[in-house]
């Protein structure tokens, strides 16, 4: 015996999401049936709307409702700096800091030979075109994650951008604010020593 069709279809849909297997999908599907009707309708509408109304900015690759995105369209921002990030989520994290007022470029991934991801699979070509076209950009700040893939991507981009006489920088590595030296890993401590600053 199978579940009634509406619920087995819903389970299938939940299972298409990352990290959700058949047990969790079943639990979520049964939970959905007991949810308020309004909440379910809103959920369905926001799925459709997120897919239909959002696209990627043709300049920076960030997620946006309008093209170009709010950041690229904002003339008051400092257009001499571009922060290069892996994902749209990273733009949000940096914006929450409220200290950076330059532009962004979203790669949508990192170089990863293991996953077969080469330079043509991420937004590197569009970054180079952007730097060629826009002479105002004086500095590229690479803010890929501090993972081996993120580091390799940073090195790769730096090698391509430097010959154009644009300053290329990388976010500092070191101790997280509020963290204990006791619990820091060796690599982080090494980077913190290496990058020590005079006070």
Residues binding its own copies (CB under 8 A): 1, 3-7, 9-10, 12-14, 16-19, 24, 26-33, 35, 37, 39-51, 53-54, 63-65, 70, 87-89, 92, 95-96
Cβ 49 to its own copies, closest distance in Å? Answer: 5
Look up tokens 């081996």; give the residue: 148
Q: Which of 146, 142, 155 is nearest to 184 (CA)?
A: 146
Cβ 28 to its own copies, closest distance in Å? Answer: 6
Q: Tell me whether residue 27 or residue 167 sits nearer to its own copies (CB atom).
A: 27
Residues 122/110, Cβ–Cβ less than 8 Å? yes
Residues 137/80, Cβ–Cβ less than 8 Å? yes
Q: Tell me whether residue 92 or residue 125 sits nearer to its own copies (CB atom).
A: 92
User: How many Å apart are CA 141 and CA 113, to the nearest integer?
Assistant: 23
- Could you tell me which residues come within 8 angstroms of residue 118 by beta carbon, excluding any fewer than 6 positions away? 111
User: How many Å apart are CA 155 and CA 26, to the nearest integer?
Assistant: 44
Cβ 86 to its own copies, closest distance in Å? Answer: 12
Q: Tell me whether residue 145 or residue 192 sits nearer to its own copies (CB atom).
A: 145
Q: Tell me whether residue 53 or residue 78 sits nearer to its own copies (CB atom).
A: 53
191 is written with which tokens? 């980077």
Q: Tell me whether residue 73 or residue 164 sits nearer to its own copies (CB atom).
A: 73
The pairing of strands 55-56 and 63-64 is antiparallel
108 is written with which tokens? 């949508």
Cβ 176 to its own copies, closest distance in Å? Answer: 17
Cβ 99 to its own copies, closest distance in Å? Answer: 12
Please tell me whether residue 16 adopts helix, strand or coil conformation.
coil
Beta partners for residue 139, in sequence order = 81, 167
Q: Which of 189, 179, 99, 112 is nearest to 144 (CA)?
A: 112
Cβ 3 to its own copies, closest distance in Å? Answer: 6
Q: Tell me whether residue 37 or residue 182 sits nearer to its own copies (CB atom).
A: 37
């Amino acid at each position: 015996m199978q579940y009634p069709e509406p619920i087995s279809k819903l389970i299938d849909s939940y299972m298409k999401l990352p990290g959700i297997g058949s047990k969790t999908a079943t639990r979520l599907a049964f939970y959905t049936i007991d949810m308020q009707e309004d909440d379910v309708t809103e959920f369905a509408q926001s799925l459709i709307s997120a897919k239909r109304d959002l696209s990627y900015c043709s300049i920076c690759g960030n997620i946006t409702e309008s093209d170009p995105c709010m950041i690229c369209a904002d003339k008051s921002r400092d257009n001499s700096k571009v922060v290069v990030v892996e994902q749209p989520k990273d733009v949000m994290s940096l914006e929450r800091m409220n200290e950076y007022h330059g532009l962004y470029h979203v790669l949508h991934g990192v170089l990863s030979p293991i996953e077969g991801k080469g330079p043509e699979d991420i937004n590197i070509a569009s970054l180079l075109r952007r730097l060629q076209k826009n002479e105002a950009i004086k500095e590229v700040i690479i803010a890929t994650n501090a993972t081996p893939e993120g580091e390799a991507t940073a090195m790769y981009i730096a090698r391509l951008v430097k010959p154009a006489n644009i300053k290329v920088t990388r976010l500092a590595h070191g101790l997280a604010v509020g963290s204990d030296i006791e619990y820091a890993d060796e690599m982080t401590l090494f980077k913190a020593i290496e990058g020590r600053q005079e006070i």
